[in-house]
Copies of this chain bind each other. A is one copy, B any other.
Amino acid sequence: MKSEQKNITIQHVAERAGVSKMTVSRVLNHDSKVSDSTRTKVMDAVQELNYRPNISARQLAGSKSYFIGLLYDNPSQGYVSQFLLGALKRCRASGYHMVVDECQGGLQDKVRMTRDFVNTTRVDGVILLPPLCDIPEVLDTLKQSGTPFVRIAPDVDLEASPYVCMDDYQAAYEMTNELIQAGHRDIAFIIGHPNQGASRLRYQGFLDALRSNRINCPPEYIEQGYFTYKSGLQAATKLLGLGNRPTAIFASNDDMAAAVTSAAHIHGLSVPEDVSVVGFDDVELASSLWPPLTTIRQPIAEMAEAAIELIRSGKLNNERTLRRSDYRHVIDFELVRRESLRTKNEAISQRSVG
């Protein structure tokens, strides 16, 4: 149907370069040993003809599809697009393309969609975003199909597949230290959604940093949130209404931190003059708010790049060649310093223990 200009095939390139199709194929796949002179001839022909290999033919004939699948479930707003950014960057560099799909419905639907997805697209590998990556039945389906897969920030069953993550614990630990370095002793914390492992790790990092600095944290300084703006608003309202109001509030994500900022305004308090606020994630909101949030930049794009690289390298295709270091990729985070955190000079904290 499609009115297309005459397709340039490997045959045309071969003729132009005066070699066989086979040789062209070898050059294109950075394969085997080809003499430099023929390699040059072939590459020139490719250039002149502006030749692009037909991906379908490659898929059908070979073992690789040059497609990588991205499957997700219900991630927070903007997470997918930020992830895609990094994934596409790496794909571009290596001739791959991303096929994206969302798994919806109940457990059975998700399993069926996963199976159909790998069967029809024949992707070389699949990347699973949280929380989909924590559904054992989905992982089993993928294993049965023989399709390699990488998980992003998984929470359970870490032995099930290679994965890429960041160190939530360490990040929260360092952020808490940052607050302490700035002179804060009365630091409140808003916990993330209880069904996510990251919430637990961030909370633990906070607690341990306080402990190693011998700072006490009264129970009323800990509030349970759910990663939503609304839950942050409720938590902040309680915290800011306390008689022993904290001088700093550490929210487990930026949405909640943004809510803390709003709540402070409602209470007639200035950020960071009256209360410092820090978040986690470095989403777009964090830097568009006023004051912009000191936060932890979650390296979503870098995690995507690492995942693509794992699949592309082919390491996942053979259990035996898969080394320990390929199994767990921890990507560095970054503590981003902005105006929402201010050094507290007067140590008027009522309960400073250290």
Would you call A99 an interface residue if the criterion is a C-beta within 8 Å of the partner chain's C-beta atoms?
Answer: yes
User: Knowing A52-B120, A98-B99 touch, does A77 contact B78 (C-beta < 8 A)?
Assistant: yes
Chain B min CB distance to A322 (Å): 13
Chain B min CB distance to A79 (Å): 8
The stretch of A80-88, A155-163, A185-193 in contact with B is A80-88
**Count of chain A residues with a beta carbon within 8 Å of a chain B beta carbon:** 65
User: Once the chains bind, are A285 and B101 in contact (CB under 8 Å)?
Assistant: no
User: Once the chains bind, are B52 and A119 in contact (CB under 8 Å)?
Assistant: yes
Contact partner of A146 (CB less than 8 A), chosen from B4, B79, B145, B265, is B4
Q: A64: which B residues are within 8 A, CB to CB?
A: 1
Chain B residue at minimal CB-CB distance from A116: B52
The stretch of A37-45, A226-234, A331-339 in contact with B is A226-234
- In the complex, per-residue mask of A1-40: 1 if CB is within 8 Å of any chain B CB, else 0: 1111100000000000000000000000000000000000
The stretch of A54-62, A166-174, A203-211 in contact with B is A54-62
Would you call A97 an interface residue if the criterion is a C-beta within 8 Å of the partner chain's C-beta atoms?
Answer: yes
- In the complex, per-residue mask of A80-111: 1 if CB is within 8 Å of any chain B CB, else 0: 11001100100110010111111000000000
Would you call A48 an interface residue if the criterion is a C-beta within 8 Å of the partner chain's C-beta atoms?
Answer: no
26 pairs, CB–CB < 8 Å, chain A vs chain B: A1-B318, A2-B146, A4-B147, A5-B145, A52-B116, A52-B120, A54-B120, A54-B122, A55-B120, A55-B122, A56-B65, A67-B99, A77-B77, A77-B78, A80-B80, A80-B81, A84-B102, A91-B101, A92-B101, A97-B99, A97-B120, A99-B100, A229-B289, A233-B290, A265-B265, A285-B285
Q: A124: which B residues are within 8 A, CB to CB?
A: 2
Contact partner of A97 (CB less than 8 A), chosen from B121, B284, B285, B288, is B121
User: Once the chains bind, are A99 and B99 in contact (CB under 8 Å)?
Assistant: yes
Which of A's residues lie within 8 Å of B, judged by CB?
1-5, 52-57, 59-60, 63-65, 67, 77-81, 84-85, 88, 91-92, 95, 97-102, 113, 116, 119-122, 124, 144-148, 228-230, 233, 255, 261-262, 265-266, 268, 283-285, 288-290, 314, 317-318
Q: A4-B145, A230-B288 are in contact. List 15 more A-B contacts (CB 8 A).
A: A2-B146, A54-B122, A55-B121, A55-B122, A57-B60, A79-B81, A80-B80, A81-B81, A85-B102, A88-B100, A98-B99, A99-B100, A230-B290, A261-B262, A262-B262
User: Once the chains bind, are A284 and B77 in contact (CB under 8 Å)?
Assistant: yes
Assembled-state Cα–Cα distance A262/B121 (Å): 47
Assembled-state Cα–Cα distance A345/B88 (Å): 54
Chain B residue at minimal CB-CB distance from A231: B288
Name the residue among A64, A92, A95, A97 with the largest chain B CB count within 10 angstroms: A97
